[in-house]
Amino acid sequence: MQITFYKYQGTGNDFVMIDNRSLSFPKQDTKLINTLCDRKFGVGADGLILLENDEDLDFKMVYYNADGNESTMCGNGGRCLVAFANFLGVIKEKTTFNAVDGLHNATIKGDIVSLQMIDVAEVKEKENYSFLDTGSPHHVQLVDNVNGFDVFTEGKKIRYGLYGEAGSNVNFVTKNAKGYTVRTYERGVEDETLSCGTGVTAVALAMHKSGNTNLTTIPIKVMGGDLEISFTAKDGSYKNVYLTGEAKQVFKGEIIC
């Protein structure tokens, strides 16, 4: 079998992207997806995303983590898929598409994609961390110097130790001059990634909820670049949450399997 794929990245969170409107991709083949995402034995990516037809909306997003398993929402992946849909001519500058956590509105202008994330009604605040679901589960913890922090060791400990079988993504955060610097240990990749869209969204909302910031448009620096999160806040819940940043096509190839 031969499958055409594209590689995209959004602030360094990278994805194998496949147009599966024909439904010909072998979706149940976890091993194949895992191998395609492997950086030595495959294309190499943090995840694989299928663009499929949707009955009511512009298209449907189906997301797999690098481990080969279908997972919850991926914010950067969603932004990259909007760029891919635009490249394929499926959408123009505006879209509404379906994903595992529901409907998403998005706009694209050049390389910049702005993606509406789900509303968040609850931010659980613990003594030294917060936990919330922004489409995917996220642990958010402030640390003194995130650039010198052992994200892999500490993230792995929390991901398995605190959240049981289901696990959580784990974000470490330090305030900077404009907003926050964030590094994320990602569930399903089981490593630090250069950026996590649902993660930085969780950080922005958690920092606002705890009173660490009054901003409702928050710039966030990640290892792979810069993102911005904007939202409206009312009585501790969050609506009109938008994740904005670059999403770029990197290359095209053929998978022979």
* Residues in the annotated binding site: 13, 65, 75-76, 169, 186-187, 197-198
Active site residue 37: no
Candidate segments 33-41, 97-105, 189-197, 211-219, binder of ligand LBFN2T5F by CB under 6 A: 189-197
Q: Which amino acid makes up residue 247?
A: A
Candidate segments 30-38, 94-102, 191-199, 223-231, binder of ligand LBFN2T5F by CB under 6 A: 191-199
What is the C-alpha to C-alpha distance for residues 147 and 144, in angstroms, rounded to an integer?
9
Residues 3-42 that bind ligand LBFN2T5F (CB under 6 A): 13
Q: Chain centroid to CA 218: how far?
A: 17
Q: In this chain, which of 104, 187, 208, 221 binds ligand LBFN2T5F, going by CB under 6 A?
A: 187
Helix (H) or strand (E) holding 81: helix 75-88
Residue of 181, 52, 197 whose CA lies nearest to 135:
197
Judged by beta carbon, residue 144 or residue 165, the one nearer ligand LBFN2T5F is 165
Minimal distance in Å, beta carbon 233 to ligand LBFN2T5F? 21
The helix-helix angle for 75-88 and 197-209 (nearest 10°) equals 130
What is the C-alpha to C-alpha distance for residues 230 and 84, in angstroms, rounded to an integer?
23
- Name 188's Cβ contacts closer than 8 Å, sequence gap at least 6: 47, 65, 66, 67, 69, 71
Tally of CB atoms within 10 A around 166? 8
Residue 171 sits in the site that holds ligand LBFN2T5F (CB under 6 A):
no
Active site residue 257: no
Q: In this chain, which of 136, 141, 171, 244 binds ligand LBFN2T5F, going by CB under 6 A?
A: 136
Q: In this chain, which of 34, 95, 198, 244 binds ligand LBFN2T5F, going by CB under 6 A?
A: 198
Q: How many of the chain's residues bind ligand LBFN2T5F (CB under 6 A)?
A: 19
Helix (H) or strand (E) holding 157: helix 151-161
By annotation, the residues acting in catalysis are 74, 196
Binding site for ligand LBFN2T5F (CB under 6 A): 13, 46, 65, 71-72, 74-77, 136, 169, 186-189, 196-199
